[in-house]
Chains A and B, each alone.
Chain A
Amino acid sequence: MYVRALPTTDVNRNTEWFTYPGVWTTYILILFFSWLLVLSVFHCSPGIAWTIVHLAHFTVTYHSFHWKKGTPFGDDQGIYNRLTWWEQIDNGKQLTRNRKFLTVVPVVLYLIASHTTDYQHPMLFLNTLAVFVMVVAKFPHMHKVRIFGINGDQ
């Protein structure tokens, strides 16, 4: 019932909330409840609902993890202004538990979405594109890489 929260050594207030207990569960629960919401609002089949959840998840997480740079407050005087959220977490250390979890979630969503739609076109194409972009963006080699200067600094 109770969990113990050890204070972290992460000074970046934008990312240290991800190290406390309960984040992973909240993430998974939000995905599950949004699937139920989509099902009840759109009256579609479960497969289409999972596809919608997967694509919405792709849009939201790509925008907030890999597009938006900096932090939503000014206290840290802009030292993270060139880094996206994904590059900031765990102080830039690659292949930590958090990063592995966040890489696995879109893949699992993709598998569920493709399975429940019976691998039909055009959902399969869209889902594959989404998961491809998501996973490549999270590679350790892509740390601080800006392809063709997209989302680079002025």
Chain B
Amino acid sequence: MITIPYLTAVSTYFSYGLLFAFGQLRDFFRRFIDWWLTSNLHGYAPICLGHEDFYIRRLYHRIQDCFERPISSAPDAWFDVVERYSNDNNKTFKRTTKTSRCLNLGSYNYLGFGSFDEYCTPRVIESLKKFSASTCSSRVDAGTTSVHAELEECVTRFVGKPAAVVFGMGYATNSAIIPVLIGKGGLIISDSLNHSSIVNGARGSGATIRVFQHNTPSHLERVLREQIAEGQPRTHRPWKKIIVVVEGIYSMEGEICHLPEVVAICKKYKAYVYLDEAHSIGAIGKTGKGICELLGVDTADVDVMMGTFTKSFGSCGGYIAGSKELVQYLKHQCPAHLYATSIPTPSAQQIISAIKVILGEDGSNRGAQKLARIRENSNFFRAELQKMGFEVLGDNDSPVMPIMLYNPAKIPAFSRECLRQKVAVVVVGFPATPLLLARARICISASHSREDLIRALKVISKVGDLSGIKYFPAEPKKIEQTKNDIKLD
């Protein structure tokens, strides 16, 4: 539920209209100029059909320097951002050798495993020396090492399911698994704000896709009832299978899914639940076991639990955890398991070590400390931002907090000014978010210290004043209140 000031909504539409109009004008003139130029591609079909590259050429290129900034160090709390310059108006960039040390508010480094760790990194280096950087084979040929088997067993223990299978890439896990689980004649009901890997997998499966209003279990129930009653399109036969796909933490909103209600509805209508815990595994829950632990949902009620190791574990890859029969079936059918190269062994070792640290099996309580710290940091940061008058989305305890910007001009303004003040933020606009709702997404890490957060708050407050994004009234400072109290006394 986002609250927009009405004037901001009107001005945002107007800004986009103006940008669109200018883009069309420039395209119009470009067509005349290009008519006179000869081209040696006569007879070839155009690469882009119609105007499908319009957004990239006329809107995205204008602010391209805010995205894809190269970094030259590990994604720790502070990192080095490479400085670039452009000679042709942001179309191409040249990297310089200068770097600037910035505060990292963009990496998904939730538990701080993104940089040197005293338990994980020596073990990873050892595994690199022993097993080398790549397995050079798919899982079924020669790519399963003892580390892979240990990793899958570790994941089952951590997630709380009977069996698990691990893949080399998180995006590919979703887009390769969903077509294996469901096909033509099936129904996928997915949340309207699901990640593009799920959308890709769903489109690739050939099943019918229906969307329910974001995080609204009542609308999910309505859609389910309607679809079950109607049956398959045209033939109206009953659906072969119904899968409801939800995410643990939605990466663009920072909201936590209403999992207990969703699971209750799915049980009632006999639909399967597919939970994508990319951002929530390892980051929320008392011992980091994700959204099921946080909301008290029994893991046996969620049929397919998917997650990635890129966020909280500082590695790469994804996993699917489920019943033994499900995992057996996937290992025989999924192309990401049969044909794709398996996850590199050092990365697998990093995940195993990270899981051991989180569970406390390395003999220290660093895992519990990290989890407590990320929860503290997230709640502190969110509360302070809201006190300053920013519109911050996301639930309490969620380490992802988007700050709403709305106007397209504020996207590059916020990003560039923050970079000048040595704070690196990630800004997101259309089409990753709805047109009106551009935002700056802050990801808090357990490796941020209190001073880092206070510094970030000062910078964001200053930049927020400059770009006018404090849409809510700020809360009055407590010092003035105590002064008044003393006066009254």
Q: Are A and B physically bound partners?
A: yes
* Residues of chain A at the chain B interface (Cβ within 8 Å): 1-11, 13, 16-17, 20-23, 25-26, 29-30, 68-75, 77-78, 81
* A3→B51 CA distance, assembly (Å): 33
A-B contact pairs, 24 of them (CB 8 A): A2-B4, A3-B3, A3-B6, A5-B2, A5-B3, A5-B436, A5-B437, A7-B2, A7-B192, A7-B434, A8-B192, A13-B430, A13-B431, A17-B16, A17-B436, A20-B9, A20-B435, A21-B4, A25-B6, A26-B10, A72-B51, A72-B55, A73-B56, A81-B50
Annotate B426-445 by CB proximity to A: 1 below 8 A, 0 otherwise.
00001100111100000000
* A17→B6 CA distance, assembly (Å): 15
Q: Which residue of B lies closest to A5 (CB)?
A: B2
Residues of B within 8 A of A73 (CB): 52-56, 431
A5 touching B4, Cβ below 8 Å: yes
* Residues of chain B at the chain A interface (Cβ within 8 Å): 1-7, 9-10, 12-14, 16-17, 48-56, 192-193, 196, 199, 203, 211-214, 219, 430-431, 434-437
Residues of A within 8 A of B52 (CB): 70-74, 78
Given contacts A1-B6, A8-B192, contact A74 B53 (CB under 8 A): yes
A16 touching B434, Cβ below 8 Å: yes
Measured CB to CB, the closest approach of chain B to A132, in angstroms, equals: 25
B9 touching A21, Cβ below 8 Å: yes
Measured CB to CB, the closest approach of chain A to B190, in angstroms, equals: 9
* A74→B9 CA distance, assembly (Å): 26
B51 touching A68, Cβ below 8 Å: yes
B436 touching A29, Cβ below 8 Å: no
B10 touching A2, Cβ below 8 Å: no
- Interface majority SS on A: helix, strand, loop or mixed? loop
Residues of A within 8 A of B4 (CB): 2-5, 21-22
List 19 other contacts, CB 8 Å, given A17-B430, A20-B9, A26-B10: A1-B6, A3-B6, A3-B9, A7-B193, A7-B434, A8-B434, A9-B212, A9-B213, A11-B199, A16-B434, A16-B435, A22-B13, A25-B10, A26-B14, A26-B17, A69-B50, A70-B51, A70-B52, A73-B431
* A31→B196 CA distance, assembly (Å): 37
A81 touching B1, Cβ below 8 Å: no
B6 touching A22, Cβ below 8 Å: yes
* A71→B53 CA distance, assembly (Å): 9
* A151→B332 CA distance, assembly (Å): 48
B1 touching A20, Cβ below 8 Å: no
B54 touching A72, Cβ below 8 Å: yes
Measured CB to CB, the closest approach of chain A to B208, in angstroms, equals: 13
Given contacts A2-B5, A20-B9, contact A68 B212 (CB under 8 A): no
* A21→B2 CA distance, assembly (Å): 11
A7 touching B214, Cβ below 8 Å: yes
* A75→B339 CA distance, assembly (Å): 26
* A81→B430 CA distance, assembly (Å): 20
Measured CB to CB, the closest approach of chain A to B148, in angstroms, equals: 34
* A30→B18 CA distance, assembly (Å): 10
Q: Which residue of A lies closest to B194 (CB)?
A: A11
* A33→B5 CA distance, assembly (Å): 21
Q: Which residue of A lies closest to B21 (CB)?
A: A60
Q: Please indicate which of the listed interface residues B1, B50, B52, B211 has the most CB atoms of chain A within 10 Å of its own CB.
A: B52
Q: Please indicate which of the listed interface residues B3, B12, B50, B213 has the most CB atoms of chain A within 10 Å of its own CB.
A: B50
Q: Which residue of A lies closest to B214 (CB)?
A: A7
* A10→B56 CA distance, assembly (Å): 22
* CB-CB nearest 7 A-B residue pairs: A22-B9, A17-B435, A72-B54, A26-B13, A7-B214, A73-B55, A70-B50
